[in-house]
Amino acid sequence: MSLNSLKAGKFLLTAGLLVVLVQGLWQLPDLQDYLFPGHQLAADLQSARRECRKIGDDLIALRDRVDYLKWFLAHRGPDQKVSINRMLSFPFSEFIRSLSPNFFWKVNVYLAQKTRVKEERRLRYLEALLNNIDLQLRQPSCPKSTAILPKNAAALSALQQIQAFQHQWSVYNVKLNKLIEQLAWLENHDYKD
């Protein structure tokens, strides 16, 4: 090896490590707040909006599944007809319902519990995210970031959005608790032929 190739290798290694260091520093939240004060806040609010939408959709799906289980429990018997409305919402479950009612019951209770656990996790994540955003707005991490002080109009708008998300969170939490109670009742009244 020549002396020039060793120098070039050392230079490329140093340059590569420097690029990795700069990329790592660029991802630090404090540096992001310092350079772009409102960007992280906007990203957090967008994430909260996305989580609220997912939670709402999953709560509707869980409510539909619990209603389906209630309907099935209320209409016991071997001569259950296939429901077109239920077939569109739950194609697999409606297909196996008449063939194996016990398996149908267990599968749907399992799927409802799985959705319940996913919803509980999402609600905890959303609560932590909203608390973190609220703390960021009330106590800015860097003194030069005037865009996130509560006196600013954009920050007041963000605080109002956070309050709306917190209200949505409490509504979702109440709905989930009611569905959990109904699901527990359904599990205690297990389907038996």
For residue 101, what are the contacts with CB-CB under 8 A and spacing of at least 6? 72, 191, 193
* pLDDT bucket at 54, cuts 50 / 70 / 90: very high
Q: Which fold has domain 36-188?
A: Glutathione S-transferase Yfyf (Class Pi); Chain A, domain 2 (1.20.1050)
The model's pTM is 0.69
pLDDT in tens, 5-48: 888 888 999 999 999 988 887 777 677 777 776 777 888 889 99
What pLDDT, on a 0 to 100 scale, did the predictor assign at position 37? 67
**What pLDDT is recorded for position 23?**
85
Q: What is the pLDDT of residue 79?
A: 56
Residue 52 contacts residue 126 (beta carbons within 8 Å): yes
Contact (CB, 8 A) for 172 and 55: yes
Residue 150 has pLDDT above 70, yes or no: no
Q: Quote the CA–CA distance of 149 and 115 in Å, as a whole number.
A: 39
Sequence spans of domains, the chain: 1-35, 36-188
User: 140 or 192, which is more confident?
Assistant: 192
The mean predicted confidence, pLDDT, of the chain is: 80
Kindly tell me if the per-residue pLDDT of 152 is higher than 90. no
